[in-house]
Structure 1
Amino acid sequence: MSTFSISRSAHTSAAPEQVVPLLHDFHEWERWSPWEGLDENMRRTYEGPARGMGAKYTWEGDKKAGAGTMRMIRADERGAGIALSFTKPFKATNQVTIDVAPAAGGGSDLTWTMTGEQGLFGRLFYKVFPMEKMLAKDFDKGLAQLAVEAEKDAAKG
């Protein structure tokens, strides 16, 4: 097994207190997650607390979205930590963090990181389809959408 880590960063003019609630509540992910629009018939299930530690989100799509579960394992003023398990199109277990730090000039600096183990199949698959290249654009899109939504919330007051 080999490990991988993919990390992308962005900046938003929204303060951390506008960003963090969008991370801690999986219902809010529909507003900014880069994968939410992949499958119009995606089925979503929410379990546990409405937000924060122990909240759980399960999805299953008919087409591109695949299937899996996210469970909130860290929810604090610095962001969120998530245990991510994919069941389709292939099985994988990863750790995700989305960190929010106050920026020196105002606003927030955002960093989305995913780490995990790659078995033989994963290493072969990602030689043909580079994981970092595939996920980097999704992480960038998600961070940009997260920034837009946090800035909208900040403008509302």
Structure 2
Amino acid sequence: MAENYTVVRRTTIAAPAADIHAHIHDLHRWVDWSPWEGLDPDLSRTYSGAELGVGARYAWSGNRKAGKGTMEILEDTAPTHVAIRVVFEKPMKSTSRSAFDITENDGVSEVTWTMTGKHSLFSRVAAPLGFFDKLLGKDFEKGLARLKAVSES
């Protein structure tokens, strides 16, 4: 079994790449489209570092569903690419890399969301059943649908 995992989802959004990129590289705007938004109405959020783009950081702490962790933007090539380090402390420890790649053609953009990381003991057991890809993939699909809605409005 592979030591690493990759989850990829794509969508097409009827909006320019720059508009979509603005929602991704500004971590303050993730509340508008993140698939995990709403898991804990009392979620604690802290922003630090750069206001947006490389060096922007976001930390959250919440209930069992929301967990606890941090995100930091590592790469930002406007308007086509944003890469983020995601560190989960709870419910289980893990570190992954999440990337958004945006390709625009005549005002319509394809957005690809990719997450890569090392399997935990749990995900190594679940991975052959497709559980990990289905679980995270479902969240990505929800997030991309929300990103589409806010970008097209």
Q: TM-score, normalized by length of structure 1?
A: 0.90
* Distance across 1 between alignment mates of 2:103 and 2:130: 32
Q: CA deviation at 1:107?
A: 1.0
* Distance across 1 between alignment mates of 2:24 and 2:132: 23
2:140 aligns with 139
The 8 Å contact of residues 23 and 79 in structure 1, kept in 2 or not, is answered as no
**SS of match in other structure, 1:123:** helix
The 8 Å contact of residues 33 and 142 in structure 1, kept in 2 or not, is answered as yes
Which amino acid counterpart does residue 85 of structure 2 have in structure 1? A
Residues 131 and 23 (structure 1), Cα distance of their counterparts in 2 relative to 1, 3 Å cut: same
Which amino acid counterpart does residue 5 of structure 1 have in structure 2? T
Structure 1: gaps (5+ residues): 153-157
Structure 2: gaps (5+ residues): none
Query: Between the two proteins, what is the percent identity of the paired residues?
Result: 39
**SS of match in other structure, 1:140:** helix
1:112 aligns with 113
Equivalent position to 2:93, from 74, 91, 95 = 91
* Cα deviation digits, residues 20-41 of structure 1 (max 9, x gap): 0111110000000000111111
Which amino acid counterpart does residue 60 of structure 1 have in structure 2? S
Q: Does 1:70 align with 2:68?
A: no
The 8 Å contact of residues 84 and 95 in structure 1, kept in 2 or not, is answered as yes
Which amino acid counterpart does residue 31 of structure 2 have in structure 1? E
1:79 aligns with 81
Which amino acid counterpart does residue 49 of structure 2 have in structure 1? G
What pairs with 1:1-157 in structure 2 (closer than 5 Å)? 2-77=3-78, 78-103=80-105, 106-126=107-127, 130-152=131-153
* Cα deviation digits, residues 29-82 of structure 1 (max 9, x gap): 000000011111110000011100000000011231011100000112212100
* Distance across 2 between alignment mates of 1:40 and 1:125: 29
Which amino acid counterpart does residue 6 of structure 1 have in structure 2? V
The 8 Å contact of residues 9 and 113 in structure 2, kept in 1 or not, is answered as yes
Which amino acid counterpart does residue 18 of structure 2 have in structure 1? E
Q: CA deviation at 1:148?
A: 1.0
